[in-house]
């Protein structure tokens, strides 16, 4: 299958070719013709599947057909995070570079006035995070009455982040008759309910989930004592001469601390998370992308939707509480056909989380002990000693026991994780 066969116009084909794309990804192959027909879409597709082009290309084509004199937004794309909004907007600019459509992006954390100016000058495509869009709507600086196409990108994450009420308020500002595209990495009852309320006879498109289809991502678990994780990470980065590595921590504080510690180990690092200003987040991402910083330490929310081409290494410094987040995390590597490596540093306390992830993936992640760092007798001893107190609260003590099925998985998310 080629892009030509999907019915895209020459200006879009040349933009796609300039990006070096030769074949459409599965989600593009299935979504583009349906959107061009004007139908609604419910697509199960994660970041890394090429979903942005799957909606951006046909939207550009549809909007290009007619010119709007007023230039009120005719396509509205809602995203959960500022980073994703910025990246989706970039994609519209890239793919639409040979067309005369205007696109802009609005998100919080930066001044509202420049955004107002851009909106005043007129746009065809508006990419927005829900909160800032409502600010503009409240101030009368955006008119959504001409929206023909609505995209909810990473809808599951928008719900996770509590945007449901904002989304509903935005819906009320849109014309009733419009085309709707909903992209979500996961299907939950909440997503189904949202889709039922918004989509009209949608085409259901599901592409192989990256977690299951990600043959080009090598996954690996390194067992390690909790207190030695940072040392092991520095060791892996230096030994392997890893030049670009995205590291996940569970907390903002943990991300900051780890970035500082890596710096003191002589590994260039910066942290990205919700407490940082937008300018700092943008700078951190730019430094990481251009190679001036080797390690980007991120929380799940901050990393969601980051578009970093061919990221070679992802490290789970701590396993996520929710198994699906593991899938999102490792989806950041091995993208669009290139090979990647996803490494998890797992201490004994995280064994149950690992079990949950493996159950979701329906596979056993290979375990590789790194000499000098694994749960040797000494660290197990130390762990035991540290955890003596907890035993009296009835928690199972499990200093070793990798690959062992936990007898009780209920406690895994509620207790006992040191940060
Ligand atoms: P997305 O899932 O939209 O975040 O896209 C993931 C990455 O794949 C982005 O870096 C795109 O530039 C890239 N990409 C999208 N479509 C294609 C394609 N057909 N061929 C190669 N790379 C692509």
Model confidence band, residue 316 (pLDDT cutoffs 50, 70, 90): very high
DSSP letters, 135-150, are HHHHHT----TT--EE
φ, ψ for residue 387, nearest 5 deg: -95, 5
Model confidence band, residue 187 (pLDDT cutoffs 50, 70, 90): confident
Distance from the first to the final alpha carbon of the chain: 48
Average pLDDT rounded to a whole number, residues 25-30:
92
CATH class of the domain defined by 217-412: alpha beta
Report the residue among 2, 4, 336 best suited for mutation to probe ligand 1: largest number of ligand atoms under 8 A from its CB: 336
Taking the whole predicted model, whether its pTM rises above 0.75 is answered as: no
Q: Is 72 in the pocket of ligand 1 (CB under 6 A)?
A: no
The 8-class DSSP code of residue 311 comes to B
Q: What is the pLDDT of residue 407?
A: 35
CATH class of the domain defined by 3-206: alpha beta
Q: Residue 26, by phi and psi: left (phi above 0), alpha (psi -120 to 50) or beta? A: alpha
Q: Which of 15, 86, 79 is nearest to 53 (CA)?
A: 15
Q: What is the pLDDT of residue 73?
A: 97
Instruction: Measure the CA–CA gap between 24 and 287, rounded to whole angstroms.
Output: 30
Q: What is the pLDDT of residue 145?
A: 96
Q: Is 363 in the pocket of ligand 1 (CB under 6 A)?
A: no
Q: Is 307 in the pocket of ligand 1 (CB under 6 A)?
A: yes
CA of 28 to the centre of ligand 1 (A): 10
pLDDT tens per residue across span 372-381: 887 654 455 5
How do the domains of the chain map onto residue ranges?
A: 3-206, 217-412
Q: Which of 10, 153, 137, 159 is nearest to 78 (CA)?
A: 153
pLDDT tens per residue across span 380-419: 556 555 565 444 333 333 333 343 333 333 333 333 333 3
pLDDT tens per residue across span 196-225: 999 999 999 987 554 443 567 889 999 999
Question: Ligand 1, closest atom to CA 21?
Answer: 20
CA of 370 to the centre of ligand 1 (A): 34
Ligand 1, atom 16, residue with closest C-alpha: 50
Tell me whether the CATH fold assigned to 3-206 matches the one assigned to 217-412.
Answer: yes
């Amino acid at each position: 299958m080629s892009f030509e066969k999907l019915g895209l116009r020459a200006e879009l084909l040349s933009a796609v070719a300039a990006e070096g794309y030769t074949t459409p990804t599965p989600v593009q192959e299935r979504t583009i013709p349906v959107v061009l027909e004007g139908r609604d879409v419910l697509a199960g597709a994660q970041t890394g599947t090429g979903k942005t082009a799957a909606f951006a290309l046909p939207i550009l084509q549809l909007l290009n057909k007619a010119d709007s004199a007023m230039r009120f937004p005719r396509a509205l794309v809602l995203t959960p995070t500022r980073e994703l909004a910025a990246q989706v907007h970039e994609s519209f600019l890239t793919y639409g570079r040979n067309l005369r459509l205007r696109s802009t992006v609005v998100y919080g954390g930066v001044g509202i006035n420049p955004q107002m100016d851009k909106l005043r000058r007129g746009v065809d495509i508006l990419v927005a995070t829900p909160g800032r869009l409502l600010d503009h709507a409240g101030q009368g600086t955006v008119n959504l009455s001409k929206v023909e196409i609505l995209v909810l990108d990473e809808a599951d994450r928008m719900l996770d982040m509590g945007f449901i009420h904002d989304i509903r308020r935005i819906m009320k500002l849109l014309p009733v008759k419009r085309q709707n595209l909903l992209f979500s990495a996961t299907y939950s009852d909440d997503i189904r309910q949202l889709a039922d309320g918004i989509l009209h006879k949608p085409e259901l498109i599901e592409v192989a989930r990256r977690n299951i289809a990600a043959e080009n991502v090598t996954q690996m678990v390194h067992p390690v004592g909790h207190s030695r994780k940072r040392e092991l990470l520095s060791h892996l980065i230096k030994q392997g001469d890893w030049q670009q590595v995205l590291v996940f921590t569970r907390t903002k504080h943990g991300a900051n601390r780890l970035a500082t510690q890596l710096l003191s180990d002589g590994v260039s690092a910066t942290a990205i998370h919700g407490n940082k200003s937008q300018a700092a987040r943008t700078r951190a991402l730019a430094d990481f992308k251009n190679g001036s910083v080797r390690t980007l330490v991120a929380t799940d929310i901050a990393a969601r939707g980051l578009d970093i081409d061919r990221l070679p290494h992802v490290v789970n410094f701590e396993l996520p509480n929710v198994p699906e987040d593991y899938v999102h995390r490792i989806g950041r590597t091995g993208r669009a056909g290139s090979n990647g490596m996803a490494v998890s540093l797992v201490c004994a306390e995280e064994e149950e989380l690992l079990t949950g992830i493996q159950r979701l993936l329906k596979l056993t992640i290979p375990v590789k002990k790194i000499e000098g760092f694994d749960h040797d007798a000494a660290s197990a001893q130390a762990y035991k000693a540290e955890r003596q107190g907890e035993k009296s609260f009835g928690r199972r003590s499990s200093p070793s026991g990798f690959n062992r099925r936990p007898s009780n998985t209920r406690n895994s998310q509620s207790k006992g994780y040191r940060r």
